[in-house]
Amino acid sequence: MTTTLEKPARLPVPPRPRRPRAQAAGWIIAAVVVAAHVVAWNSTGMSFTALVEGRDGMADFLAEAFPPDLSWDVLQPSLSAALVTLWIGLLGTTLSVPASLLLGLLAARTTAPAPWVYQATRSLLSFLRAVPDVVFALIFVTAVGLGPFPGVLALLLHNIGVMGKLWAEAIEDADPGPSQVLRSAGASRAQIAAHALLPTVTPQLTGLLMYRLDVNVRSSLVLGLVGAGGIGFLINQSIKLFQFDEMLTHILVVLVLVVVVDRISAAVRRRLS
C-alpha cells in the first residue's frame, strides 16, 4: 500500500505592517534633501544655458592650446618641475609619519592613556584636517618665501591630521587578542603597542600611507599655483602669460606623473593585501 504525500498548502504572507512614523520621517528627509539641492543650485548659479553660450570661448581656448608645445625649451623645465612636485608630495608624506603614528596611538580609544588625551588629540587632528593645505601653503609662503619648502610644510601639517585619523581608526579596528595576552602578562603600553598592536596593523598603515602619497602628489600640484613650487607654478605662469600651448604641455607631464605614482601605489597596496 502506497501513500502519497500531499503538498502543504501555502499560507498567505501577511502584509508588512506599515509604520506611519517611519514613512513620514522618510518623506521629510527626502523633502529636506530636495530643498537643499534647490538652494545649492540657486546659490551656486548653476546654469547649463550659460555653459552652452560660452562654447565659443572654450573653443578659442582649446584652439590656442592645441597642439601642445613639445619643444625641449618647454619640456625640460616641465620635467624638472614635475620632479619637484613629486619630491614635495614624497617629503610631505614621509616626514609626517612619526607625528601621525604618535597622534594616531593617542587618538585611538584602545591605546589612549586617558579620555582627556583622546579628546585633545582628536581635536588637534580635526583642526589640522579642517585647515586646507592651500591655506597652510599661503601662510608658509609669507613666512619663508616662494619655493617648494612651504609646500612641503603645508602638506606635512595637513597630512598629519588626515593620516593620524586614518591610522587611529585602523588601530581601533585591530584584533585585540595579542594585546590582551601581553596585557595579562604585565606588559606596559609601549610594549603592547610595539610587539602586539603595530605588527598587526602594519599592512593597513602602509596601505593608507601609499594612498596618502598618491593624494599628496596631486595636492602638491595645486600648491604650486599659490607659489609653493613645482609644476603647478609653471601652469599658473603659462595661464597668466596666455601661453596655453605650454600650459597643455605641463598638464600632459602632470598626467604622466600622476599615472605613474598611481600605478606604483596600487601595486604596493596589492602586495600588502
Q: Buried b / exposed e across 13-50, counting CB within 10 Å, b at 16+?
A: eeeeeeeeeeeeeeeeeeeeeeeeeeeeeeeeeeeeee
pTM over 0.85: no
| Superfamily per CATH, domain 67-272 | MetI-like (1.10.3720.10)
Query: What stretches in the chain show pLDDT beneath 50?
Result: 1
Q: Buried b / exposed e across 247-267, counting CB within 10 Å, b at 16+?
A: bbbbbebbeebbeebeeebee
Contact (CB, 8 A) for 242 and 61: no
Determine phi and psi for 9, rounding to 5 degrees: -70, 140
pLDDT tens digits, one per residue of 179-232: 666 667 666 666 676 666 777 777 888 888 888 888 888 888 888 777 777 888
* Domain boundaries defined on the chain: 67-272
Q: What is the DSSP letter of 186?
A: T
> Which contacts of 56-64 are long-range, i.e. CB under 8 A and separated by 24 or more positions?
61/244, 64/242, 64/244, 64/245
